[in-house]
A and B are shown apart, each in its own frame.
Chain A
Amino acid sequence: MRASALPGVAVIAGFGAFIALALVALMVAGGSGLPLDRLASPYTRSLLAFTLTQSFLSVVLSILGALPLAIVLHRHQRFFGRAALVRLLALPLALPPLVAVFGLLDVWGRSGLVSASLQALGFDVRLDIFGLQGVLLAHVFFNLPLAARLMLTHLERQPATTFRLADQLALEGWSRFARLEWPLLRAHLPGVAGLIMMLCIGSFTLVLTLGGGPSSSTFEVAIYQALRFDFDPALAALYTLVQLILAGTVLIFLTRLGGAPEDRAGALVSSEERARPLPIWGRLVLGLAILFIVAPLAALVVGGLFAEWGRLFGMARLWAAIGTSLVIATSAALLATLASYAMLVARLRGFRASSQAFRFYEAGYGMVGSAVLAVPPLVLGAGWFLAMRGWPAPTLIAACLVVLVNALMALPFVLRIMSPAFEASERRYSALSASLGLMGMNRFLRVDAPVLAKPFAVALAFALVLSVGDLGAAALFGAYDLVTLPVLILNLMGSYRTDDAAGVALLLGLFVFALIALAERTHKVLG
């Protein structure tokens, strides 16, 4: 281990301790030891079974859907609306689930667009979205765009000559897929699948609302129930551990399956790439993608227009919420980006590749890079609130906790955005930097910062987007009284003010879209 590994090791240890201490605090508060017998109950087993089933199916469907979309978007660089569509792919992930549910229902619900159209066409059917199908639909809505985005970026990272070569050799249609795109993407899939799996394991609001009944409950429901109504912190901690172990197992399995994807250096596909005619299936894929991803978003926009804007803008709470959201999200995004930088520096420069220490570090990197998504923010908040009770300035502590939790939850995404660019630059410049004796801060200022400025900016924007839309903060019950935009939406909805809630959701969506567009202008790479 070299000195350059220290900050990264510290970050991982710090975040690890942040999680572990929260769990310990909860267990201590519980007093009477761990209620291990609760784990064996049929209830717990059924929750686990449903959690695994729905997340596995969500992953499979998201990836199957994302594959053709990513390929069409990569093969066809020049059609009207492509840029907007690619930007929209990042949007669902940033929406609070509660908001997204209503967009989805406007399209797929019993009285939604699809049902209404079918009825207008004379079919006497109403779609039944509630049940496993609804849960899957929602998860695919969130994760298909993410997967498509990640795959597209992976393809765009390949050297431009790879695809020119394919053009020359007439690798079109199926052979292009079989010979080139699939082999390139296959190694990348386990990583994408792992990320989606983590997001689906932690899903809660969507699952309950669209699940149709308590037989569709995830493990997260049990954690929530244990911590709130039952007030059994130890049980909540235990459940969280189980969920973490579950998540870790899945990740290890996926890593074995495909091995870590190898990202390669290369020029981006030039925007002067050949235009080729969009085949029928390509149009079909795009049409479905638009119906599937864009239609619910459009429904949210339309819904938002009915808000009473005058009253809304006159509301002090809205401005406070915007301010709080911005401050918290900015802090969290900065923290996540810097933490990622430290983690990547340690990973790429801090160890001898074959050393035991490196393997150890990789394990920690993998956990913090993915499995953190399986830790409910509620548990972190409650644990730390317990640990720090009696300390002065509770609001400041609460604000810091929210920032830390948001940063932690953004970390897996930020790492994925930054690492390919970082690795590419490392391959190109590490020998040169070493020969010139550029180390530490010098290396950062003279090489990393300028070379990586754009990916850093994108990562920052993405972390900002994730944090702004994160309701996890609101779930830190008892831990704070900060009003963020998602909290305000929830408040408004809880007071009959559905139209105003839709208005605030629209504001949030526009803000997020603007951020993504800004980041896109800065840099093409995202994912």
Chain B
Amino acid sequence: MANRLTQFTALSALALAMVLPVTANADDRTLTIYTYDSFVADWGPGPVLTEAFEAECDCIIEWVAPGDGVAVLNRLRFEGDSTDADLVLGLDTNLTAEAVATGLIAPHQVDVSVLDLPIAWTDDSFVPFDFGYFAVVYDTQAISTPPTSLVDLIEGDADQPIVLQDPRTSTPGLGFMLWMKAVYGDEAGEKWAQLSERILTVTPGWSEAYGLFTSGEAPMVLSYTTSPAYHMVVEEDERYQAAAFEEGHYMQIEVAAAVEGSPEIDLARDFMAFLIAPEAQSVLPVTNWMLPVAPGSEALPEPFERLVTPADALLLDPETVAAERQGWIEEWLDAMSR
């Protein structure tokens, strides 16, 4: 028994040693940021931004990545007042109302006049740092005439199916549900029932859906207008393109916010200002594969100029989404099970 405990403790300690970030010098200040995991992956924006910000702030950034954006919010909710976070980064506008409800979000106090978003930004708590449009991405080798509108998609050929994500479990899934809602309002249920003929499957997350798409199972998938940019810039492959829809595209805006009561709230605010400054705005598109919210320090790679620019940017306000989401999901379930 004693043996086992020793062994277990030793292993746990080893685990701890392996995963704890390199600790800072005692006199450096530490900024703790909660974000989603792909933000801080080797290939994500995290490493580059860390280096740039630490060079000018005399501080150390400690990243905590508990999962996806929803996981970040839930961690905050679970921890409540005792949270270590100084800054949360990577929620989207569909989650901000619920984040505010925790009472942990401080006013941002950042000059957001540089923002260049398709909509006016009036929120005092959250600072947007990148954004994207949901879009149907299609395989040019399988589809010659992609749908040009939601109607087209809904009424199109069921032999060319689409893979969607589940609004109960994934952010893009929720985004598409809101897109349908924004366009069709009370008729959304009916349209969903019609569309269901063309849905190959509904996956729990974006990764499964996009994997099905790139492995050739389906010629279309719900993703972002920026998805083709990755393939064109990194893989130099023009095969996957986004379809422009006449009704306009639903937006996803990723935001950051300082945590109320944080001892490093000034640092957090500095970081938010840094995020919308030109240097970071040039980094984010090519690491996070989203669109910049403000002018960058250098031009984006050429393929970004060829991305779909929606005629209309759709967005439902966060409060409505928070209040109606459950009812809409039930409507969706009902329509899809018909």
A212 close to B201 (CB less than 8 A): yes
The reply on A357 being an interface residue by CB < 8 A is no
Are A481 and B66 in contact (CB-based, < 8 A)? Answer: yes
B 5-48 binary contact with A (CB < 8 Å = 1; else 0): 00110011111101110000000000000000110011110000
A317 to B40, CA, bound (A): 10
Within the complex, the shortest CB–CB distance from B52 to chain A, in Å, comes to 19
Could you tell me if A386 and B78 are in contact, using CB atoms closer than 8 angstroms? yes
Tell me the complex Cα distance, A523–B234, Å. Answer: 48
- Could you tell me the dominant secondary structure of chain B's interface residues? helix
- Are A331 and B11 in contact, with the CB atoms below 8 A? yes
B75 contacts A by Cβ under 8 Å: yes
A491 CA to B284 CA in the complex, in Å? 17
Contact of B227 among A228, A482, A496 (CB under 8 A): A496
A495 and B336 within 8 A (CB): no
A1 within 8 A of B: no
| CB-nearest residue of chain A to B166 | A208
Q: Is the CB of B230 within 8 A of A399?
A: no
Given A315-B42, A324-B18, A494-B207, are A396 and B66 also a contact pair (CB < 8 Å)?
A: no
Contact, CB under 8 Å: B203 / A208: yes
* Interface check A508, CB cutoff 8 A: no
Contacting residues, chain A, for B7 (C-beta < 8 A): 334
**B74 and A111 contacting across the interface, CB-CB below 8 Å:** no
A334 B216 Cβ-Cβ under 8 A: no
| Surface stretch bound by A, among B103-111, B258-266, B292-300, B326-334 | B326-334
0/1 interface trace, chain A 107-149, chain B, CB 8 Å (1 if under): 0011100000000000000000010001000000000000000
Find out whether the CB atom of B204 lies under 8 angstroms from the CB atom of A204.
yes
A105-B215, A205-B204, A334-B4 known; A491 vs B41 contact (CB < 8 Å): yes
Chain B hits for A7, CB < 8 A: 1
Contacts of A497 in B (CB 8 A): 43
**With contact pairs A209-B201, A389-B82 given, residues A111 and B208 touching in the complex (Cβ less than 8 Å):** no
Structural contact, B337 and A215, CB atoms closer than 8 A: yes
Binds B, one of A57-65, A162-170, A242-250, A472-480: A472-480
The residue in chain B whose Cβ has the minimal distance to the Cβ of A101 is: B208
Q: Is the C-beta of A231 less than 8 angstroms from some C-beta in chain B?
A: yes
Is A331 a contact partner of B71 (Cβ separation < 8 A)? no
CB distance from A390 to the nearest CB of B (A): 4
A residues near B41, Cβ cutoff 8 Å: 317, 491, 495
Task: Determine whether A490 belongs to the interface, using a CB cutoff of 8 Å to chain B.
Answer: yes
Q: Does A287 contact B (CB under 8 A)?
A: no
* A residues in contact with B278, CB < 8 Å: none
Shortest Cβ distance from residue A257 to the other chain B in the assembled complex, whole angstroms: 33
Determine if A320 and B66 form an interchain contact, defined as CB atoms under 8 angstroms apart: no
Interface set, chain A 452-510, CB cutoff 8 A to B:
474, 477-483, 487, 490-491, 493-498
Query: What residues of A have a CB within 8 angstroms of the CB of B283 in the complex?
Result: none
Q: Which residues of A contact B207 (CB under 8 A)?
A: 98, 490, 493-494
A393: chain B residues at CB < 8 Å are 16
Say whether B154 faces chain A, with CB atoms less than 8 Å apart.
no
On whether the beta carbons of B65 and A209 are closer than 8 Å, the reply is no
Chain B residues with Cβ under 8 A from A134's Cβ?
201
Report chain A residues within 8 Å CB of B20.
395
Answer yes or no: B202 CB below 8 A from chain A CBs.
yes
| A211 on interface, CB distance cutoff 8 Å | yes
A43 near B333 (CB under 8 angstroms)?
Answer: yes
Interface flag for B98 (CB, 8 Å): yes
A480–B19 alpha-carbon span in the complex (Å): 10
CA distance A215 to B202 in the complex (A): 10
A130 touches B201 (CB 8 A): yes
Contact for A130 among B200, B216, B230, CB less than 8 A: B200
Q: Is A229 interfacial (CB 8 A cutoff)? A: yes
CB of B202 within 8 A of CB of A214, answer yes
Q: Does B124 contact A (CB under 8 A)?
A: no
Bound CA span A481–B84, Å: 14
Instruction: Check A320/B78 contact, CB under 8 A, given A331-B12, A478-B71.
Output: no
Chain B residues near A324 (CB-CB < 8 A): 15, 18-19
How many A residues touch B, CB cutoff 8 Å? 74
Bitwise interface map of A from 384 to 425 toward B, beta carbon under 8 Å scored 1, else 0: 011001100111100110010000000000000000000000
Inter-chain contacts of A323 with B (CB < 8 A): 18
Within 8 A of A (CB), among B66-81: 66-68, 70-72, 74-75, 77-80
Q: Which of A212, A331, A479 contacts B66 (CB 8 A)?
A: A479
**Bound state CA distance, A224 and B167, in angstroms?**
12
A478–B212 Cα distance when bound, in Å, is: 28
Q: Does A335 contact B (CB under 8 A)?
A: yes
Report the minimum CB–CB distance from B21 to chain A (whole Å): 9
Q: Is B211 an interface residue (CB 8 A)?
A: yes
A133 to B203, CA, bound (A): 16
Q: Say yes or no: is B50 at the interface (Cβ < 8 Å to chain A).
A: no
Digitize A174-210: 1 where CB-to-B-CB distance is under 8 Å, 0 elsewhere. 0000000000000000000000000000001100111
Q: How far is the CA of A390 from the CA of B78 in the complex (A)?
A: 10
- A224 to chain B: which residues have CB within 8 Å? 168-169, 204
The yes or no answer to A289 lying at the interface (CB within 8 A) is no
Which residue of A394, A479, A487, A493 is within 8 Å of B210 (Cβ)? A493
Partner of A498, one of B8, B18, B211: B211
Instruction: Identify which of B15, B77, B78, B212 contacts A105 (C-beta below 8 A).
Output: B212
Say how far A210's CB is from chain B's closest CB, in angstroms. 7
The verdict on A328 contacting chain B, using a C-beta distance below 8 Å, is yes
Check B214 for interface membership: any CB of A closer than 8 A. yes
Q: Is the CB of A228 within 8 A of B11?
A: no
Cβ-based interface call for B116 (8 A): no
Residues from chain B with Cβ under 8 Å of A399 in the complex: 12, 15-16, 19
Q: What is the minimal beta-carbon distance from A50 to any residue of chain B, in angstroms?
A: 11
**B312 interface residue (CB < 8 Å to A):** no
B residues in contact with A396, CB < 8 Å: 12-13, 15-16
- Of all chain A residues, which has the CB nearest B234? A496
In the assembled complex, B196 has its CB within 8 A of some CB on chain A: yes
Residue A517 is within 8 A (CB to CB) of chain B in the complex? no
Q: Which residue of B lies closest to A111 (CB)?
A: B216
Name the residue of chain A whose CB is nearest to the CB of B171: A229
Q: Name the A residues within 8 Å of B135 (CB-CB).
A: none
Q: B58 at interface (Cβ–Cβ under 8 A)? A: no
- For residue A15, CB closer than 8 A to chain B, the reply is no
Q: Are A491 and B67 in contact (CB under 8 A)?
A: no
Most buried by B among A110, A210, A477: A477
Taking a contact as CB atoms closer than 8 A, the residue among B84, B208, B325 that contacts A209 in the complex is B208
CA distance A385 to B71 in the complex (A): 13
**Is the CB of B155 closer than 8 A to any CB of chain A?**
no
Q: Are B98's CB and A231's CB within 8 A? A: yes
Residues in B199-227 with C-beta less than 8 Å from chain A: 199-208, 210-212, 214-218, 227
CB-defined A-B contacts under 8 Å, sample of 28: A43-B330, A101-B208, A102-B211, A102-B215, A109-B216, A110-B200, A110-B216, A208-B169, A208-B202, A209-B204, A212-B199, A221-B204, A228-B169, A320-B19, A327-B11, A327-B14, A335-B4, A395-B19, A395-B20, A399-B15, A403-B12, A477-B66, A477-B70, A481-B66, A487-B37, A491-B41, A498-B211, A498-B214
Closest 8 CB pairs of A and B: A478-B75, A477-B71, A493-B207, A331-B11, A111-B216, A208-B204, A225-B168, A390-B82
Which residues of A come within 8 Å of B, CB atoms? 7, 29, 43, 46, 98, 101-102, 105-106, 109-111, 130, 134, 204-205, 208-215, 221, 224-225, 227-231, 315-317, 320, 323-324, 327-328, 330-331, 334-335, 338, 382, 385-386, 389-390, 393-396, 399-400, 403, 474, 477-483, 487, 490-491, 493-498
Known contacts A111-B215, A396-B13, A487-B37, then 17 further A-B pairs from the complex at CB < 8 Å, ordered by chain A residue: A130-B201, A224-B169, A230-B326, A231-B77, A231-B98, A320-B18, A323-B18, A324-B18, A382-B78, A389-B80, A399-B19, A403-B15, A478-B67, A478-B79, A490-B207, A491-B37, A494-B205
